[in-house]
Amino acid sequence: MHPEPPPAPAPDPRPFGATSRKPVDHVNDRDEHDPEDPSALRLTVAAVARRLGVAPATLRTWNRRYGIGPSDHAPGRHRRYSADDVARLELMQHALVRGASPAEAARYATSARLPRPDADPPDRPRVVSAEAGPPGGVPLEPVGLEQVAGIDRPVGAEAGDPLLLGGGAFDLESPDLGSRVRVGGRVLRLPGSSRRTRGVGRAALAMDAAALRRLLVEGIAADGLAATWEEVAAPVLIAVADRWASTGAGVEIEHLISEAVIGAYSAHMQATPVTDRVRPVVLAGMPQELHNLPLTVLAAVLAERGVPCRPLGPNLPPDALAAAIRRTAPAAVVLWSQSPDSADVELFGGLPRTRPQFRLFAAGPGWQNTTLPRRVTRLTSLGEATSVISDVILT
């Protein structure tokens, strides 16, 4: 009689693509055919959805509409995703972030050649380990826009107080912008918008700060500061604000976008040489006003025209504003108010008098129904603000 063979060792509880042997959650979401071969692992739709940061229904829609999904199916069992399946989905997700339509992103992902497990060349995207990257992992190398053809069509939808900014730069309630924005279920619909605008919207929803910043920087380099704000960032912010108004969700998305805009525009402003031969312009948010993102945009645009700016941020106390005016002797002061609660006209009367005098400007929707003192000029758009202030400073 032969002795019974020892029991087979338990499968290694590793997540898809992981390199360590540390146990992880969602064990039942896997189907490990070979614990020593990560490429043989299979993931459920729920596990892949968590990995990519999308809804399971979105993955099913991609599979049904564009044929990008699980490649094999055993009778009597749910479909599961292989390593190559997930790699193609990551390629599709990255192309979507770059502004491709779902159909073109799927066509790119299904036609791209994937790296083999024993060859991971640096010039090809690869699947990121579950422990090496964020849940919404994307290929390490960016997908160039030139690699995705025909992405000019609008993208259709797959089935705290927000930062409402303010025609042009200062009025996000503008009919021209608002009519171009619609709120989708799990996407931001931006009909008629550019591929870069759609990419920014998708990057924002994916909470992909790096892609968001990169798209804004590319837009500034290609189209300029004003166009990138008015045609890319502002429409997406309107869509996010509309989303918040209808669902109560999305404040974190607005914060991510605003931080990316501040970073991109501030970096551009700091890299722009300006003259010290003219008096500067002071830009500040009114006391109790926490929103002043358009002033960051205005400061960068003015700096590009050679206007020296002193941006002092939001919620500046009156005594601090007065001290800044005395120390900088500005040619102009711009005060931003987002809401009527911060639009205090009495502040203008308390500002110090200087020689030579400075011009006073009020910007933002908070001043809309306020009667301003005679010496204060209302600014209603980025173009108007840029032109008027440049004339004051440089002429």
pLDDT value, residue 56: 78
pLDDT value, residue 67: 87
Work out how many domains the chain is built from and give that number: 3
Answer yes or no: is 19 within a domain: no
pLDDT value, residue 287: 94
**Number of CB atoms found within 10 A of residue 220's CB:** 21
Domain with 50, as residue range(s), is: 27-70+78-114+123-147
Strands (E), the chain: 30-32, 41-43, 182-183, 188-189, 281-285, 309-311, 332-336, 359-363, 376-379
Domain match, 205 and 311 both: no
Give residue for tokens 């390593």.
83
pLDDT value, residue 293: 92
Amino acid at 185: G
The CATH number of residue 359's host domain is: 3.40.50.280
For residues 210-232, average pLDDT: 95
Domain match, 298 and 376 both: yes
Please give the share of the chain, as a percent, with pLDDT higher than 70. 68
d(CA 196, CA 354): 45
Residue with the larger pLDDT of the pair 265 and 164 = 265
Q: Answer with the one of 269, 288, 318 that is the final residue of a domain.
A: 269
- 97 CB-near residues (< 8 Å, 6+ apart): 138, 199, 202, 203, 206, 208, 211
d(CA 199, CA 104): 13
Domain match, 312 and 257 both: no
Give the burial class of 10: count Cβ atoms within 10 A of its Cβ; 0-12 exposed, 13-18 middle, 19 or more buried: exposed
d(CA 104, CA 192): 17
pLDDT tens readout for residues 273-293: 888 889 999 999 999 998 889
Domain match, 260 and 244 both: yes
Region of poorest pLDDT, from 101-105, 334-338, 376-380: 101-105
Domain match, 319 and 255 both: no
Residue 253 pLDDT > 50: yes
Q: Answer with the one of 223, 247, 269 that is the final residue of a domain.
A: 269
Q: What angle do CA 347, 350, 355 make, to 5 degrees?
A: 125
Answer yes or no: is 6 within a domain: no
